[in-house]
Amino acid sequence: MSAPASQPSRLQDEPRGGAGGRASWLRVAAWLAIALAVAVLDQLTKAAIRSSIAPGEVVPVTGFFNLVLVFNTGAAFSVLAGASGWQREFFIGIGAVAAAVILYLLRRHGRDTLFCAGLAAILGGALGNLYDRVLLGKVVDFLDFHARGWHWPAFNAADSAITVGAALVIADTLLAGRRKTRASG
C-alpha cells in the first residue's frame, strides 16, 4: 500500500486541474460575497455610530462596555497614531497587498472551508478599514470594553472580523497538522 499524497502547503499551487476552471472562480465569488457582506456590515455599524454619537462621547451600555466614537489614524491599538501622516498611505498599501494575497489564496484553496472562511473574514475586515482610510484618512472605532478603570483600545466590527478570521486560519492550520499526523501514523 502506498503512502497518502501530501497536501500542498497553503502558498503552493494545487495539483493541475485543482484550481482551474469555472468552478474555482465560483468558489472564489462565494468567498468574496462573504467578505463584501462583512465590509458592508462594518460600514453600516460605523455609519450608525457616526450619526448618533459625537466624537469623544461615551454611551454606557453595561458595567463593562460603552459605545464611543473615536478616530484612529494608526493601526491596531493605535500603533503609529501619533506619526506625522505618512502612515495613511503605508496602511493603505498594506491593506491592498493583503487583499491581493488573500485573493490568491482563495483562488488556490477555495475548497478548504475553514481556511477560506477565515480569509474571507479577514478580507472583509481589511476592506472595511481600508474604506475608512481612503475616504476619511482614519478608521472609525466605537466598541469600548473596560474593567476597573482600564479600557481596552476601542475597536470596530472590521477589527472583530479580522480577529475571528485569524482564529479560523489558525484553527485550520492546527487541524491540518493533526490530519497530517494521523495520515502518516
The DSSP symbol for 155 reads B
Burial readout 38-69 (b: 16 or more C-beta within 10 A, e: otherwise): bbeebbebbeebeeebeeeeeeeeeeeebbbb
CA 1 to chain centre: 43
Catalytic annotation on 159? yes
- The residue annotated as part of the active site, out of 42, 112, 132, 141, is 141
Alpha carbons 119 and 105: distance in angstroms, whole number: 8
Alpha carbons 73 and 79: distance in angstroms, whole number: 9
- The residue annotated as part of the active site, out of 42, 132, 144, 159, is 159
Catalytic residues: 141, 159
